[in-house]
Chains A and B, each alone.
Chain A
Amino acid sequence: GENVEQHPSTLSVQEGDSAVIKCTYSDSASNYFPWYKQELGKRPQLIIDIRSNVGEKKDQRIAVTLNKTAKHFSLHITETQPEDSAVYFCAAPRAGGFKTIFGAGTRLFVKA
């Protein structure tokens, strides 16, 4: 069945350092890979996504890389800032979107 594993569960970095969060998925039919950020007490919101015909996508300080052969994709945040502190979720919907399953989440702490 579908499974999305996300690592690490907690990540603490100094302000200005980089943070990397990795997800692996099991369904080879998945072709859309979003990352969501959830601030404390708020709803999850999309921050970046990538489709299977692209290997890397960048938006200012955040980037996502995809390795379809290995079935993993990663979120990269450079020059981290305290406002990046949040929980980050990956997801790997099956082609057609059935049963969008989220990773368990990564709690990122950015220390000033």
Chain B
Amino acid sequence: NAGVTQTPKFRILKIGQSMTLQCTQDMNHNYMYWYRQDPGMGLKLIYYSVGAGITDKGEVPNGYNVSRSTTEDFPLRLELAAPSQTSVYFCASSTHGRRDTEAFFGQGTRLTVV
């Protein structure tokens, strides 16, 4: 299993540009999450999904959108990038149901908005 795969690893955007951060997992996990981590800070939940076709806002959703058309994929869309969105973005997945499991993280996407 590859686990959770994120692309790209690094990206520089200009203010006002848009982009999609890709995330895919091959563990058949029902839950998927997007977090952002600012330098020296903790993990803030942007959006999460409990299954295909279902998404919901986390702590800091403004400026982002997500979709979950399949179990495997959970892309994060940035519209009109702003310097405040400079951060490291982590996608994660886990299983919840009869037995909760740990969250498995992708390797992260380092995004700089200039």
Contact = CB atoms under 8 A, between A and B. Distances in A.
B100 A89 contact: no
Interface stretch (B64-72, B76-84, B101-109): B101-109
Interface string A27-60: 0000110101000001111100101000000000
Contacts, number: 61
Contacts of B92: 100
Interface residues of A, number: 25
B96 A96 contact: yes
Contacts of A99: 45, 48, 56, 58
A103 B41 CA distance: 10
B94 A98 contact: no
Contacts of A97: 31, 50, 94-96, 100
A32 B105 CA distance: 18
Interface residues of B, number: 25
A43 B42 contact: no
Contact of A98 (B41, B50, B103, B108): B50
Nearest to A48: B102
B51 to A, nearest CB: 11
B74 interface: no
Given A43-B90, A43-B108, A49-B102, A102 B42 contact: yes
Given A31-B100, A42-B107, A100-B92, 4 more contacts: A32-B100, A46-B102, A97-B100, A101-B45
26 contacts: A32-B100, A34-B102, A43-B106, A43-B108, A44-B90, A45-B105, A89-B42, A89-B43, A93-B96, A93-B100, A97-B31, A97-B94, A97-B96, A97-B100, A99-B56, A100-B31, A100-B45, A100-B48, A100-B103, A101-B45, A101-B59, A102-B35, A102-B42, A102-B45, A104-B42, A105-B41
